[in-house]
Amino acid sequence: MMLRVVHVAPNRAEAELIGNILKGEGIPVVLRPVGVPHMGDSAEVEVLVAEAEADEAREILDAYAG
C-alpha cells in the first residue's frame, strides 16, 4: 500500500491530535517522525494515510482548520 503525507506536525502531540481526527472519520493513519531521533516528542512528525484516502483526509483537515 502506498502512503501519502497529508500533514507535517511540529511535534508528536499535534500529530496525534491530527491522527485522531482522521481515525475518527474512519481513515487509518501512520505517524512517522522526521529528522533526528534525539529530538524525541519535539521533532516534526509526518501524518500519512493510504494514497487512495489522501484527498479525503486533506478535505477533512481543511474543514477542521477552517
Write out pLDDT tens, residues 15-57.
999 999 999 999 999 999 997 766 677 789 999 999 999 999 9
pLDDT at site 38: 67
pLDDT at site 66: 80
Number of structural domains (the chain) is 1
Q: Is the pLDDT of residue 64 over 70?
A: yes
In Å, how far are 3, 5, 9 from 46, measured between CA atoms? 11, 6, 6
Q: For the domain that residue 39 is a member of, what is the CATH number?
A: 3.30.70
DSSP assignment of 4-65: EEEEEESSHHHHHHHHHHHHHTT---EEEE-S-GGGGGGS-EEEEEEGGGHHHHHHHHHHHH
Domain, as residue range, for 61: 3-65
Residues 60, 34: Cα–Cα separation, whole Å: 23
